[in-house]
Structure 1
Amino acid sequence: MTLSLLFSFLGAAILLSLMPGPDNLFVMAQSLTQSWKAGVYTTLGLCTGLIVHITAAVLGISAIIYQSTIVFTIVKWAGAAYLLYLAWQSFRAKDDPFIIKSQKKLAYKDLYKRGILMNVLNPKVSLFFLALLPQFINPTAGQVSLQMLILGVVFLVQAFMLFSLFSIFAGTLRKWLIGKPVIAKRMNKIQGVLFVLIGLKIAFSER
């Protein structure tokens, strides 16, 4: 693989990661309601989920998901149901700004698990790699599966870096929101709405 090909892929990956989507919105929701560290641990979980999708693309499992309407639908609705469950939890939480500011944060391992489930239960991610990676593969440059693996790792690294920056930004924004009582009292509702929107986006996604 040439450096020009890798940089072309990196540019495409960065642009795609910057576009509003379920993963980056999910990370920002965690950072807004807890802290930037919560967003980073969620990002670690999402990236672990990416490893699953990258492996599936390399092994050809993503193609099976794409070809099977039943499997795609099951995974899709499982992901949507999980997001709506998180939304329900957010709507049930108290809206006291003092509690939001001083409440005990979710354990980092729980945030990590949330990130994994959020990513793995989104079949569009597997199909995304199935559609993207082959466009940057050079069949004459060596083993195709190895090239896909390398591109997957490049995507993983840039996604972690960008999502971590999203976390820091959202965490900074959270500090400002805490100083606004009217907004702070609605933080859990805001998170719940974000989860609903992400869940609906996954639920109504097409292959």
Structure 2
Amino acid sequence: MISTQFLLTALVVVIAPGTGVIYTLAMGLGQGRQAAIWAAVGGTFGIVPHLAAATLGLAAVLHTSALLFNVVKFAGVAYLLYLAWQALRSGGALSVTADHRKQNGIAIARRGALINILNPKLSVFFLALLPPFLSGNPATASLEMALLGAVFMLLTFLVFVLYGVFAAKARDLLLGSAAVMRWLNRGFAAIFVALAGRLALERA
């Protein structure tokens, strides 16, 4: 069940830079290691509803209901555009600045969780990813799905933390220039806008 193939597949998926990784990098660059860890916590727990949906079969309902899928999708699009604005706005939650301002850790984690919660494709993704690695015993299928999901979450957290710590280490090197900070904020804003556009084009 928890095979080398599953671990390698999950690791490749987690390492690929997605919205959660971009958010964690932004928090690491903007506020340092502790903020990045909170972002990783939020991004990891944002996976839980999708794993639960895949385990309980609700992901199939979401996949077949165009209305429900689009409601969640466009809520996610709006949230990503909000994060883009927060990256551009002076003093915004995601703006990269030289000062060592600290935000509430729970607020950082909540934003990270919402990024994943409001992405309906994750439920469908887990519905496709996990079943091929099950033993085939219907009596233990739900337990096995939960265990595979827990391993996936652990890998997600560890990789996100590594990304965030790297960003925090790079912070002092990059934030000595106002021009660099300005372009970092514009870059993060552009990425979140692009991610919002990609999500908007997703189909159930």
Q: CA separation in 1, counterparts of 2:38 and 2:91?
A: 24
Q: CA separation in 1, counterparts of 2:18 and 2:72?
A: 18
Runs of 4+ more than 4 Å apart: none
For 1:190-201, what aligned pairs fall within 5 Å after superposition? 190-201=187-198
Tell whether 2:186 aligns with 1:189.
yes
Report the CA distance between 1:206 and its aligned residue.
Answer: 2.7
Q: TM-score, normalised by structure 1?
A: 0.89
For 1:101-112, what aligned pairs fall within 5 Å after superposition? 101-112=98-109
Q: Which runs of 5+ in 2 are unaligned?
A: none
% identical aligned pairs = 35
Q: Which residue of 2 aligns with 1:170?
A: 167
Q: Which residue of 2 aligns with 1:139?
A: 136
Report the CA distance between 1:67 and its aligned residue.
Answer: 0.9
Q: Which residue of 1 aligns with 2:49?
A: 52
Q: CA separation in 1, counterparts of 2:27 and 2:187?
A: 11
Aligned pair partner of 2:68 in 68, 71, 84 = 71
Aligned pair partner of 1:161 in 154, 158, 162 = 158
Q: CA separation in 2, counterparts of 1:36 and 1:205?
A: 33
Q: Which residue of 1 aligns with 2:17?
A: 20
Q: CA separation in 2, counterparts of 1:106 and 1:54?
A: 29
Q: CA separation in 2, counterparts of 1:69 and 1:169?
A: 39
Query: Of Structure 1 and Structure 2, which has the larger fraction of its residues in helix?
Result: 1
Tell whether 2:94 aligns with 1:84.
no
Aligned pair partner of 2:29 in 29, 32, 42 = 32
Q: CA separation in 1, counterparts of 2:90 and 2:122?
A: 30
Contact 2:98 2:176 in 1 (8 A): no
Q: TM-score, normalised by structure 2?
A: 0.90
Report the CA distance between 1:146 and its aligned residue.
Answer: 0.9
Q: Which residue of 2 aligns with 1:123?
A: 120
Report the CA distance between 1:94 and its aligned residue.
Answer: 5.8
Aligned residues: 201
Q: CA separation in 2, counterparts of 1:85 and 1:192?
A: 9
Q: Which runs of 5+ in 1 are unaligned?
A: none
Output the amino acid matched with 1:63.
A
Q: CA separation in 2, counterparts of 1:147 and 1:179?
A: 49
Output the amino acid matched with 1:73.
N
Tell whether 2:11 aligns with 1:9.
no
Output the amino acid matched with 2:29.
L
